[in-house]
Structure 1
């Protein structure tokens, strides 16, 4: 049944990304009252439908390297096992005690499932990334969780540990498929999120070292970030290794093709973070203390997207074209045909901004995961046009000509700065916000 749903999804992607005005809500699964892929996600989808929304936007779902940041993940393909619903595993007869610690319960369920694996698991584990994930995590376990460039090269992956990690991914992907099926039945599309750079300590980099700028020991020779901007006077030093784009080109961008295809299996559309990096990117020496020492380097441009589109077909991509956007970045996005983004917290600071002039082929946000909540922004702002309430900004988004208006849940609830999801260039208190309970349905309908 899900295969038929997936085929229908593929057919939908062949049409225009948007053919009418729609509303979406930005809420990561970790912010649900029960922060997993269980029944609460079903209730949230029904809440979206009742509110007049047809899009759910999430952040990257990969397992964080450390802390909670979804933008520093151990894999571009894996789903964070912390999102697996123990209750659903209990319903499937794989768990009896759901009160156990999450990691203990998951291992117990995986061990039980591996006693008599379903045929679908064997199909799943044939995928290249699943094979690699099992090896990578088994080696990481053997090396007590240390980054891969510090591993003892004499250690071999434990086969049982590798299979356990593959089974956990099987659980996670099955549970996410269930959510996608429910969303499809309700007419809800899901926007995934793809960071432009994978984390250094990831299966992505470990198995694809030739396409990144690395020293022989596996550490980055240059890292990614952005120059001084709205969020930080010293810029942002992300620490991810940058691509060797010439090496990528020689492979005809094979890994990028696999990465986009994998993301498209999880979502109807994908927002590519830091889209401007495909035109030119900020490369910083690996030993730099901040991002000021970086320099602009040329990205792959339209060549990457032409090559991948020729093999995958039309890409359902939303380009995050924020920050220092040059005419060349705009030209690249337009050549690709991707919708761009308008963030009202930025746009409304310009007294000349006219929301009625927002192009239809764009996505308008009150704010993103990196912004303060709109209520917090209003309280702290000192210039720009007169804004009196969070709902006023929400209405500007809903009434705009943009094809899609996305409202973070915090702005629907008109919450203050304490509900902010992330403050860039800081490492404390981020990615923690969670709903206590789902509110009554909101009025998010738009007039076409």
Structure 2
């Protein structure tokens, strides 16, 4: 079934308190998607972000971001009073997240809510902790010890707790008992609010596409609690790390620094950790987009300590063996999108085809005049997801304004029949919506015709990313109707009857005149 959707991360939603949350603005955005006939709301990873604020580098593959807990909702639950938070400084720019102020002030409010929760919903927190015990206790202990150690990476902790000696684990579980409960409360509220929002979104016949990174952060609960599934030395430092090889965009490649999986050990244990990760992600989301999917077939492995990615090498991954095991455990009909961007060998293509997962096509990549592009729409098959751009790209307007190669821009204008009257960004949206791809998706920034000041991320840079927020006044009826009309035109609308009702009403008005 042909359909479409919008990329809009939770952090980018409007709110009065510095960052988007699971509050009323999220419900209003869902209403906008429904009124515009959209089937999908795509978000970035929901994980508890760490240093650098990237949703792709989080403290846990399973825990949620405390910043997304809505404070007004906590007040409605009796856990906060308005005066506990409405005068705090969460940042003065409604279109940018100030992460430093969020870190300094948000947890103060959540601690007030926690102290009140002990008398209001203690039993519910304990029940949740028991239900999610497979990952939650390790996460809560990890965050509590991390606070005690001044938030330094766990590889810098004292040897006893770094190596998880039993006596150290017992000591900190007793010493930090209340703080451990605090972090469990945080996840209790995160999942309570998220599940309510997700249920509402699904009731509108909209599905949520959630993003999960292939790798976990080096400074994460996952590496600390499960060192055996990563390539670490006896001191728990990585022996090799992940990245991308040099290419036309970067002469030295991309050095991500994530630890690499010990795939031999994971295979020996039946890929249990990965089965659980996919299982938990499918509870969070209706559809999973797995970032850097090609890394399952072969990954770029860089010796730890190298300054760039240039000294790495390709190493074979588990490929289809992993997904055969996952499908055997969780069922064949896994709703997964394979992020298969970048250099693809035939073996990677064969692997993706064997999974039957749809790959990605990014329209912005289609117009490189140096070579024939596989992202040009006339080469698509139906089993793909077509994007105008992603969080790692320029916005469409930004690309048109900053691309130095005018031949590329002219190619886009000629191919998509772009006109100033229609608007170049809407021409790109039309190009995606009119394609044969089963799903078409655009960024909210492109829908709003914003330039690169609204760009979400510049890969391989630190600072200034992930901070764009939408102005609360930008979701207009005119925008809703315009998106709805183009979605109907290209057969992607989930509720075309809205247009029919409006047309009938207009006809009746004409008759009355």
User: Are 1:186 and 2:167 an aligned pair?
Assistant: no
Matched residue of 1:197: which SS?
Answer: coil
Q: Which residue of 1 aligns with 2:475?
A: 439
Higher relative helix content: 2
User: Are 1:328 and 2:309 an aligned pair?
Assistant: no
Separation (CA, whole Å) in 2 of partners of 1:200 and 1:65: 11
Q: Using the TM superposition, give the Cα deviation of residue 114 of structure 1 relative to its aligned residue in structure 2, in angstroms.
A: 2.3
Larger deviation, residues 47-56 vs 123-132: 123-132
Q: Which residue of 1 aligns with 2:143?
A: 137
Q: Which residue of 2 aligns with 1:50?
A: 35
User: Which of residues 286, 293, 298 is equivalent to 1:280?
Assistant: 298
Larger deviation, residues 58-67 vs 147-156: 147-156
Q: Which residue of 2 aligns with 1:422?
A: 457
Q: Using the TM superposition, give the Cα deviation of residue 436 of structure 1 relative to its aligned residue in structure 2, in angstroms.
A: 1.4
Provide, for residues 280-310 of structure 1, a one-character-per-residue CA deviation record: whole Å limited to 9, x for no partner: 0000011100000100001001010011110
Q: Which residue of 1 aligns with 2:172?
A: 156
Q: Which residue of 2 aligns with 1:367?
A: 389
Number of matched pairs: 429
Q: Using the TM superposition, give the Cα deviation of residue 130 of structure 1 relative to its aligned residue in structure 2, in angstroms.
A: 1.1
Separation (CA, whole Å) in 2 of partners of 1:427 and 1:142: 26
Q: Which residue of 2 aligns with 1:26?
A: 7
Q: Which residue of 2 aligns with 1:308?
A: 326
Q: CA RMSD in A?
A: 1.5
Q: Using the TM superposition, give the Cα deviation of residue 146 of structure 1 relative to its aligned residue in structure 2, in angstroms.
A: 1.2
Q: Using the TM superposition, give the Cα deviation of residue 175 of structure 1 relative to its aligned residue in structure 2, in angstroms.
A: 0.7
Provide, for residues 19-60 of structure 1, a one-character-per-residue CA deviation record: whole Å limited to 9, x for no partner: x11111001010111211111000000011111211000001
Separation (CA, whole Å) in 1 of partners of 2:251 and 2:35: 43
Separation (CA, whole Å) in 2 of partners of 1:231 and 1:255: 34
Q: Which residue of 2 aligns with 1:167?
A: 185
User: Are 1:38 and 2:23 an aligned pair?
Assistant: yes
Provide, for residues 195-222 of structure 1, a one-character-per-residue CA deviation record: whole Å limited to 9, x for no partner: 0000011111111100100111111110
Aligned ranges for residues 201-280 of structure 1 at < 5 Å? 201-229=219-247, 231-280=249-298
Q: Does the CA contact (< 8 Å) of 1:135 and 1:162 recur in 2?
A: yes
Q: Does the CA contact (< 8 Å) of 2:387 and 2:432 recur in 1?
A: yes
Q: TM-score by structure 1 length?
A: 0.93
Q: Using the TM superposition, give the Cα deviation of residue 85 of structure 1 relative to its aligned residue in structure 2, in angstroms.
A: 0.6
Q: Which residue of 2 aligns with 1:5?
A: none
User: Which of residues 85, 103, 106 is equivalent to 1:102?
Assistant: 106
Separation (CA, whole Å) in 2 of partners of 1:132 and 1:160: 15
User: Are 1:398 and 2:416 an aligned pair?
Assistant: no
Q: Does the CA contact (< 8 Å) of 1:124 and 1:130 recur in 2?
A: no
Provide, for residues 115-170 of structure 1, a one-character-per-residue CA deviation record: whole Å limited to 9, x for no partner: 34354433321221112111111111221211111112356241110011001001
Q: Which residue of 2 aligns with 1:386?
A: 412
Provide, for residues 165-190 of structure 1, a one-character-per-residue CA deviation record: whole Å limited to 9, x for no partner: 00100101111111101101111100
Q: Does the CA contact (< 8 Å) of 1:84 and 1:175 recur in 2?
A: yes
Q: Using the TM superposition, give the Cα deviation of residue 348 of structure 1 relative to its aligned residue in structure 2, in angstroms.
A: 2.7
Separation (CA, whole Å) in 1 of partners of 2:153 and 2:269: 26
Q: Does the CA contact (< 8 Å) of 1:231 and 1:425 recur in 2?
A: no
Q: Using the TM superposition, give the Cα deviation of residue 349 of structure 1 relative to its aligned residue in structure 2, in angstroms.
A: 2.2
Provide, for residues 394-442 of structure 1, a one-character-per-residue CA deviation record: whole Å limited to 9, x for no partner: 1100101111111000110111111111011111321111111242124
Matched residue of 2:222: which SS?
Answer: helix
Q: Which residue of 1 aligns with 2:315?
A: 297
Q: Does the CA contact (< 8 Å) of 2:52 and 2:463 recur in 1?
A: no
Structure with larger Rg: 2
Q: Which runs of 5+ in 2 are unaligned?
A: 89-104, 161-167, 419-423, 492-513
Q: Which runs of 5+ in 1 are unaligned?
A: 1-19
Q: Using the TM superposition, give the Cα deviation of residue 231 of structure 1 relative to its aligned residue in structure 2, in angstroms.
A: 4.1
Q: Which residue of 2 aligns with 1:377?
A: 399
Separation (CA, whole Å) in 2 of partners of 1:390 and 1:229: 28
Q: Which residue of 1 aligns with 2:500?
A: none
Matched residue of 1:65: which SS?
Answer: coil
Q: Does the CA contact (< 8 Å) of 1:284 and 1:294 recur in 2?
A: yes
Distance 1:230 1:119, change over 3 A: farther
